[in-house]
């Protein structure tokens, strides 16, 4: 399957994507994680996008579209993927349609998580990330075994620069102003599956799993 995951910042799409990857053997294509790794490595791409990501702004469409084409054509994504963090604008969604047509890919479903704004702010303020391996945590919902230490590699956890209060507000505003129109775009293609994103990790994943089983059962992913 090829899936798109759309949600406001802090809704938990990265965590839920990881669960889908584990249970359905679909590689997660997280544009945010990949770009942050590029920033850490100081690559030309990382240096060009850091000025946008670090203040919560969207990376320009032209950069993102070329970056995504480079990613989806890699061998590891040949049999499907779950796309997390793209598209974030209607222009990107239309450009993605063109890429799928170019490579004869089929989009099977668009999952949308819904979470109230107050809950989003609370979640983001308590989120922590390992800059070394990319693992993510939440001080309330998914705390590390040892405070502020990554369970995976033992590195110190940090709060992302784009999780500062001002950056959070900017990101939510950008989501509302730019991202929401793509829902109408995919709705017109009958690809949208709306999911309540409030609850425990298992509760939210259970709702997602029900949707994916429905797709399999009805042959929509063939």
The per-residue pLDDT for range 9-51, each reduced to its tens digit, is: 888 887 898 899 999 999 999 888 888 888 888 998 898 899 8
Closest CA to 6 of 155, 193, 205, 162: 193
| Residue 65, in any domain of the structure | yes
Q: Which residues are catalytic?
A: 13, 88, 127, 160, 171
| Residue 165, in any domain of the structure | no
The structure tokens listed for 95 are 């450009």
| Residue 122, in any domain of the structure | no
The structure tokens listed for 188 are 């017109």
CA dihedral of 217, 86, 177, 16, whole degrees rounded to 10: 50
Query: pTM of the predicted model, to two decimals?
Result: 0.75
How many domains is the chain partitioned into structurally?
1
- Tokens 């974030």 sit on residue: 88
- Tokens 């939210």 sit on residue: 204
CATH code of 50's domain = 3.40.50.300
- Structural domain of residue 103, as residue ranges? 2-115+173-217
Instruction: Read off the pLDDT of residues 186-208 as tens digits, 9 standing for 90 and up.
Output: 999 999 999 999 988 899 999 99
């Amino acid at each position: 399957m090829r899936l798109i995951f759309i949600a406001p910042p802090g809704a938990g799409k990265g965590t839920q994507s990881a669960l889908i990857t584990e249970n359905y053997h679909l590689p997660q294509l997280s544009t945010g994680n990949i770009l942050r790794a590029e920033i850490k490595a100081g690559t030309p791409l990382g240096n060009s996008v850091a000025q946008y990501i670090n203040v919560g702004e969207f990376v320009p469409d032209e950069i993102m579209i070329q970056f995504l084409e480079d990613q989806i054509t890699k061998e590891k994504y040949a049999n499907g993927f779950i796309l997390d963090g793209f598209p974030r604008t209607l222009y990107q969604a239309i450009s993605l349609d063109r890429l799928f047509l170019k490579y004869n890919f089929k989009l099977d479903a668009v999952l949308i998580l819904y979470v109230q704004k107050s809950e989003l702010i609370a979640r983001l303020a308590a989120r922590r990330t390992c800059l070394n391996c990319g693992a993510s945590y939440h001080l309330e919902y998914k705390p590390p075994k040892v405070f502020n230490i990554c369970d995976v590699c033992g590195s110190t956890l940090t709060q992302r620069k784009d999780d500062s209060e001002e950056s959070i507000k900017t990101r939510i505003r950008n989501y509302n102003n730019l991202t929401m129109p793509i829902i109408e775009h995919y709705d017109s293609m009958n690809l949208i599956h709306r999911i309540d994103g409030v609850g425990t990790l298992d509760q939210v994943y259970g709702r997602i799993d029900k949707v994916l089983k429905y797709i399999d059962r009805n042959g929509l992913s063939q």
